[in-house]
């Protein structure tokens, strides 16, 4: 099948502004968007820049905006898209080149919430155990692949540099809900002092954007409830 791709190109320092470049490609019906980008780059235009590593929806590096929605290029089937496909970088982040964006702000925000288990008691002989019920509380929280699609879709993040964003807040919830973590009070104190939790306006773009089907807004509500508990 033939597809027309309109890809936003921009090389800061070289181009004055972003522009659309058209590529026409004969594609296999089994291809995903990433296959098409690989074919364009190898057969038509080696200067096209994008990120990809795993090709299996695990690393999160191929997140981009495809026909107006933030998606993973390696999981978006061409057969599900119309004949004209517009691809641009994730909105809301500085563009490094073409479809490659700078996610530093997302990583710094994740780092701020301390995305690791903090323990104070001496380690047990084998491992820190959880009951099946305690483990179940982490479902929907631990699966994030840090692609930044949710934060990119969030108008509050666009408007406020100080907003932690749905990616970091989902991680904050993941560790507050973890029965093995022993720094819950410190985590809650940080979140209480930070305005982010109350800046979310429930626009829910993050839910629509997450390629893993996670619900960062639900995590924000869980965090708000946990802060209101004594
Ligand atoms: S290449 Fe890893 S998620 Fe797409």
Q: Domain containing 23 — which CATH number? A: 3.10.20.30
Domain boundary among the residues 48, 79, 101 is at: 101
Q: How far apart are CA 171 and CA 38, in angstroms?
A: 32
Cα(51) to centroid(ligand 1), Å: 8
CB neighbour burial string for 65-92, b if at least 16 within 10 angstroms, e if fewer:
bbeeebbbbbbbebeebeeebbbbbbeb
- The ligand 1 site (C-beta within 6 Å) comprises 52-55, 57-62, 72, 74
> Domain check: are 216 and 112 in the same one?
yes
> Domain check: are 207 and 113 in the same one?
yes
Q: What are phi and psi of 38, to 5 degrees?
A: -60, -40
Cα(91) to centroid(ligand 1), Å: 18
Digit-by-digit pLDDT tens for the chain (230 residues) are 999 999 999 999 999 999 999 999 999 999 999 999 999 999 999 999 999 999 999 999 999 999 999 999 999 999 999 999 999 999 999 999 999 999 999 999 999 999 999 999 999 999 999 999 999 999 999 999 999 999 999 999 999 978 999 999 999 999 999 999 999 999 999 999 988 989 999 999 999 999 999 999 999 999 999 988 76
The whole domain housing 173 covers 104-228
Cα(73) to centroid(ligand 1), Å: 7
């Amino acid at each position: 099948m033939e597809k027309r791709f309109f890809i936003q190109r921009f090389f800061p320092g070289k181009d004055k502004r972003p522009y659309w470049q058209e590529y026409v490609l004969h594609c296999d019906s089994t291809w995903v968007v990433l296959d098409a980008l690989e074919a364009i780059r190898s057969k038509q235009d080696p200067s096209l820049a994008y990120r990809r590593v795993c090709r299996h929806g695990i690393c999160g590096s191929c997140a981009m905006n495809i026909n107006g929605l933030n998606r993973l290029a390696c999981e978006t089937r061409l057969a599900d898209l119309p004949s004209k496909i517009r691809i641009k970088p994730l909105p809301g982040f500085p563009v490094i080149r073409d479809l490659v964006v700078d996610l530093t702000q997302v990583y710094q925000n994740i780092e701020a919430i301390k995305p690791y288990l903090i323990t104070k008691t001496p380690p047990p002989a084998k491992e820190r155990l959880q009951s099946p019920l305690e483990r179940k509380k982490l479902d929907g929280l631990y699966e994030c692949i840090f692609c930044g699609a949710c934060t990119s879709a969030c108008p509050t993040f666009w408007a406020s540099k100080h907003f932690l964003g749905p990616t970091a807040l989902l991680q904050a919830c993941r560790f507050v809900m973890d029965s093995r973590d022993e720094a819950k009070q410190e985590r809650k104190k940080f979140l209480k002092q930070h305005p982010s939790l109350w800046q979310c306006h429930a626009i829910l773009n993050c839910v629509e954007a997450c390629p893993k089907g996670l619900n960062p807004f639900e995590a924000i509500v869980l965090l708000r409830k946990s802060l209101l508990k004594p």
